[in-house]
């Protein structure tokens, strides 16, 4: 992406046809599939990433760079070509008032203006010797042949963000529930998520959704940086 301007969908572009969607009171949740949708998700994540940045001089360039990098990353995750990802879904929450006859039309504004939340759920595989994501307490030499033959796969939630004006309205909780449904459909047994200790609202959200804290020093070098939560399906 060479431009920081939000993309617009053509008036004829049907974003809901032949696609699974979850309908809520004031918004729908669906999977991102097109470049326009991936860019809208990336831009929203860039805005959330930069919302506490104090220097207005650099915020636009920082936002643009973050969005461009995330756009590439989210597309690579969809293809299973990013890190330990095997496959991934990017979910978007879109205002329902922006939808007319199942078409998000240009006169309703850009797609970016109507996307109010996003979340990724990715299928990953534990590295040799890991008991859970980020575990560095076990040596890969301890992994037996049977473990190598039956790699353990798990779900991982990341990139949760909701626009400032849409927070505290249940959107984040809905996105998490949709991600959990996807994990069940994939036959996963566990879903993990990392949360910063300072993110009290995030911790409450996931605990309310059934996640429990993993009580172990999974990150020995910086144990204060993130906390790992797990949901057993």
| Beta-carbon count within 10 A of 147 CB | 13
Nearest-angstrom CA–CA distance, 189 and 153:
8
Tokens of 68: 């461009």
Structure-token pair, residue 72: 């590439």
Sequence-ordered alpha helix ranges (H) in the chain: 35-50, 56-78, 111-114, 145-149, 171-185, 200-208
CA distance 81 to 76: 5
Which residue is catalytic, options 27, 156, 192, 206? 206
Max Cα-Cα span within the chain: 60
Cα separation of 114 and 111, whole Å? 5
Rounded distance between C-alpha atoms, residue 89 and residue 66, angstroms: 20
Q: Is 206 one of the catalytic residues?
A: yes
Alpha carbon 129 to chain centroid distance? 26
DSSP sequence for 206-230: HHHTT-EE--S-S-SS-TTT-EEEE
CA 98/CA 93 separation, integer angstroms: 12
Q: Which residues pair with 54 in a beta bridge?
A: none
Annotated catalytic sites, by residue?
A: 206
């Amino acid at each position: 992406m060479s431009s920081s301007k939000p993309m617009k969908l053509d008036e004829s572009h049907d974003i809901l046809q032949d696609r699974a969607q979850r309908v809520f009171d004031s918004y729908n949740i669906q999977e991102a599939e097109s470049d326009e949708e991936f860019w809208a998700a990336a831009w929203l994540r860039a805005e959330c990433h930069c919302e506490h940045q104090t220097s207005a001089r650099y915020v636009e360039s920082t936002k643009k760079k973050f969005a461009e990098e995330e756009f590439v990353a989210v597309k690579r995750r969809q293809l299973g070509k990013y890190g330990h990802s095997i496959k991934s879904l990017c979910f978007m929450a879109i205002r329902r008032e922006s939808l007319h006859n199942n078409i998000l039309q240009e006169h309703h504004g850009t797609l970016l203006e109507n996307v109010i939340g996003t979340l990724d759920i990715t299928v990953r595989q534990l590295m040799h010797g890991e008991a859970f994501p980020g575990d560095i307490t076990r040596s890969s030499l301890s992994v037996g042949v049977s473990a190598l033959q039956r790699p353990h796969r798990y779900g991982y939630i990341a990139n949760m963000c909701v626009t400032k004006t849409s927070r505290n309205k249940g959107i984040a909780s809905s996105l998490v529930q949709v991600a959990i449904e996807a994990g069940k459909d994939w036959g996963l047994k566990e879903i993990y998520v990392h949360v910063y200790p300072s993110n009290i609202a995030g911790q409450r959200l996931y605990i309310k959704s059934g996640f429990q804290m993993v009580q172990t020093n999974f990150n020995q070098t910086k144990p204060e940086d993130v906390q790992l939560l797990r949901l057993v399906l």
